[in-house]
A and B are shown apart, each in its own frame.
Chain A
Amino acid sequence: MATAARLAALLSVALAATLILATSAAGEGLIALIGWVAVGLLAAGLLLGHRGGLTALSVGYVLRLGLMSAMEAPIQPDLWTQVLLLTLAIEAGSVSFTLRLRPADPLPVMVRGVGTALVASSLVRVMELLVAGAETSGVLVRVAGIAALVVAAGWVTTMWRRSGLAS
């Protein structure tokens, strides 16, 4: 079980590094720095047994993506491919923690991880197609966005409490 957990951790870091390497050509300096810091935090989290490493990677990636958008750097490869890599890295890290912390059958855990990654990238692809060509700036969009943010945060909190996980 320990070997499987180590392998999953290695896979997670390798996927995260691949994601950063695949997109690093698009940005220099700060963009690359954020990416590598996120990968470093992931590696440290996996090494020290802190789940925060997974959150650091995903938040770092999103911040990096935002910075790339602000600098009008081209997003290459496709966003859904990046999300696929990112989710696979997170799921591999999650599998590593699961195998370390409790007994688990590795096969269904890995199948679930790959399934989650595919669903996430598919969602991004579908949403990409839906919002293609839409105007994403202006006051109305920002108001709608903030409303969506508040609703999402409220929804997440409510569901979290209802599920009993908050306690």
Chain B
Amino acid sequence: MTAGLVGLAVALAVGNSAPALVGTSFLVLGIIGVAGGQALRVRAEFIEAPVSMIENEQRTVRLRFSSDGQAARTYARLNLSAGLRIVEVDGAKLIGSQVLMLGAVGAREDVALTIGVAGWGRHNIGPIDLFTESPLGMFDVRRRSPENRTWVVIPEDVALHRLLSPLETNLHVGDLVSRKRGPGSEFADLRSYRPGDDPRNINWRVSSRSGELWVNERHPERNGDVVLLVDGQVESGTELQVLVDRSVRLGAALLQGHAKRHHRLGLITLDGTCRWIGPGIGENHRRRLVEQLISVIPGQVLWEAAERAVIRAAKRPAMVIALTPLLDSNVAGVIHSLRRSGVDISVVEIDASSELSPPERGDRQLGRRIWVMERERLRQRLTGAGVPVAVWKDVDSPDVPLSQLDLWRSSWQRQLG
């Protein structure tokens, strides 16, 4: 436009038609472009989106684009977080990895996206940036649709064949055989009849042989409290970050496994902050646990406050399973304190040595050997205090450390009688 007007002015000044011809052609093009129609604003909204997903799953998201008139070609940048990818699009053309091109948008255009997710955590889609061209493509308008969706992506399900059973039970009905006596189906012992005993509990065979009344005592079926202590205290941005990933994956599998056994579940996470959720039951509670679990990131906790919080959150009769690389001696200290206060605690040590590159120089080799010996001593101190510790190596299935802990706890129970 500017060049067109300048062309006309120059032509008048020099009295020659050439600049006027060029200027006029520019003006005509500009006028055609503007007169062709304006670029309408387009809105976008989610009409179907999942709330949660499982890692490596594919789900459908439906988007509705609408405009007050017939908008021309529209581009929608979806702003997907890392880990999300568009697998298939129905109703639009995919440009690059996260831009949709819609031919024209009328009152209502629905687009179905199949979205795949890699990696657990929180993933989000949106806000959506919309760019609509004018009909002749000379101008465009931009609009940011504020809607967005955040999904909780749960780690892929790891089937655990063996789970630890709490030594103590609570008062809620469940699958565990309580050590206490009470109404139940598991036979515990015989005792002589006392007035008030239920006649249905009389053991007639024993009573007829002994000549006096004997009743069966039974163990009630109860559930237990299981509290996971997930330690994400590793240096961020290093090769040790993978330890947090392994802890979270095992934590998710344990939560799922124990939930199936109707145990009350609690969670303590140690990363940049210490957060905890007390034992509870129900779908909403499990959702809170998973959301907290997947928000664990590598970081260092402030121990002055965290130690008190851990001891308050992991109380008897809960069974505490600590998932930790044991890189921070404070964690070992708090585990020790919990054991001393009578809490049933077991440790799955996430093996850090396999994640470290082998030392090259002699002094580094010596340093590594000292570090390995210190860790071995730490482990021995814990086991000496009655805390079962099983090392989970990266090549092993998660059942391996759980089986080791289960064996340790069984023999310990036998020793205790």
Contact = CB atoms under 8 A, between A and B. Distances in A.
Contacts of B21: 79, 124, 127-128, 131
Contact of A142 (B12, B18, B23): B12
Contacts of B2: 55, 58-59
Interface in B6-29: 6-29
Contacts of A1: 96
Contacts of A102: 75, 77, 129, 131, 140, 142
A120 B22 CA distance: 8
B140 to A, nearest CB: 7
Nearest to A75: B18
Contact of B28 (A79, A105, A123): A123
A20 B12 CA distance: 23
Contacts of A155: 31
Nearest to B8: A149
B5 A149 contact: yes
B38 interface: yes
B38 A165 contact: yes
Nearest to B30: A156
B412 interface: no
Contacts of B8: 145, 148-149, 152
Contact of A112 (B20, B95, B137): B137
B7 to A, nearest CB: 4
Contacts of A145: 8, 11-12, 20
B145 to A, nearest CB: 15
B9 A149 contact: yes
Interface string B304-348: 000000000000000000000000000000000000000000000
Nearest to A65: B19
Nearest to B17: A136
Contacts of B131: 102-104
A105 B199 CA distance: 84
Chain B interface mostly helix, strand, loop or mixed? helix
B4 interface: yes
A62 B22 contact: yes
Contacts of A163: 34, 37-38, 134, 139
Given A119-B29, A156-B27, A61 B22 contact: yes
A124 B25 contact: yes
Contacts of B101: 103, 105
A103 B99 contact: yes
Given A102-B142, A104-B75, A156-B27, A165 B16 contact: no
Contacts of B13: 66
A67 B75 CA distance: 43
Interface residues of A, number: 53
A29 interface: no
A14 interface: no
B282 to A, nearest CB: 44
B3 interface: yes
A116 B3 contact: no
Given A69-B16, A102-B75, A159 B34 contact: yes
B77 A127 contact: no
A140 B22 CA distance: 21
A164 B12 contact: no
A37 interface: no
Interface string A139-163: 0011001101100110110011011
Contacts of A160: 34
B38 A120 contact: no
B3 A108 contact: no
B73 interface: yes
B163 interface: no
Contacts of A153: 5
B38 A156 contact: no
A62 B16 contact: no
A156 B27 CA distance: 8
Contacts of B19: 62, 65-66, 69
B1 interface: yes
B287 interface: no
Given A66-B13, A102-B140, A127 B75 contact: no
B86 to A, nearest CB: 13
A48 interface: no
A79 B18 contact: yes
A152 B27 contact: yes
Contact of A79 (B9, B22, B27, B137): B22
Contacts of B16: 66, 69-70, 136
Given A105-B93, A120-B25, A66 B140 contact: no
Contact of A146 (B12, B27, B134, B139): B12
A41 interface: no
Given A165-B38, A165-B39, 17 more contacts: A55-B2, A61-B22, A66-B11, A102-B77, A103-B131, A105-B101, A123-B24, A124-B21, A136-B20, A137-B15, A152-B4, A156-B5, A159-B31, A159-B34, A159-B35, A163-B37, A163-B134
9 contacts: A98-B140, A105-B101, A120-B29, A127-B25, A134-B17, A136-B17, A145-B20, A149-B8, A156-B5
